[in-house]
Amino acid sequence: MERLAYEDPLTGLANRRAVDLRLEEALDARNAGGAPVSVVMADVNGLKQVNDEHGHEAGDRVLKTVSDAIAIAVSEVPGGLAGRIGGDEFCIVLDGVDADAALRVTGSINDRLADGPFAHALSCGVASTSLVAPSDVVTPRQLLRWADEAQYTAKRAGLREPVLAGRD
């Protein structure tokens, strides 16, 4: 039952509920004087076109390929949680990870996708509490919004590299 409540059935990644819970816990600890927290928002480019031209099974294969690349990259980072939060959107919570390390995670994901047909599959935005004063309280909603805005900036510009909120 717990797996059904917290896991995305297609990808095996965490679902939105699990991501929200982990982010809230991580930020509570950070706001009490703990380690930085970073969030990566990633959106699959062109999934609607794949679905329209090749069918939803092909779209599901794209999502699975992307989720596998994300899962491998995040598994190399202690305190990381990767989730599919809806449709073609993924979110990674990196507890104890600063902005530069979060950028390296996105680089690892893109490197894993580079050799296949999905080389430009993701637009990523990164937000991190390491870029704000330690005394500033950051809410889950704020951090997600910053990462989401950065991700949309990357998507609109057609960038393969992630955009870092507050720096780029």
Would you state the pLDDT for residue 120? 76
pLDDT for the residue numbered 4: 63
pLDDT for 133 equals 94
Q: Identify the segments of the chain with pLDDT beneath 70.
A: 1-4, 168
* DSSP character at residue 135: T
**In this predicted structure, what is the pLDDT of residue 118?**
72
- Give me the pLDDT at residue 50, please: 74
Count of CB atoms situated within 10 Å of the CB of 141: 11
Average pLDDT score over the chain: 92
Measured between its terminal Cα atoms, the distance across the chain in Å is 42
What is the pLDDT, as a whole number, of residue 3? 64
The DSSP symbol for 14 reads B
> Looking at residue 127, what is its pLDDT?
98
Asked whether the beta carbons of 66 and 47 are under 8 A apart, the reply is no
**Whole-model pTM over 0.85:** yes
**Alpha carbon distance 61, 64 (integer Å):** 5
Q: According to the model, what pLDDT value does residue 117 have?
A: 73
| pLDDT for 2 | 65
- Confidence (pLDDT) at 116: 74
Q: Can you say whether the dihedral through the CA atoms of 14, 164, 75, 29 is positive or negative?
A: negative
Output the pLDDT for position 11: 95
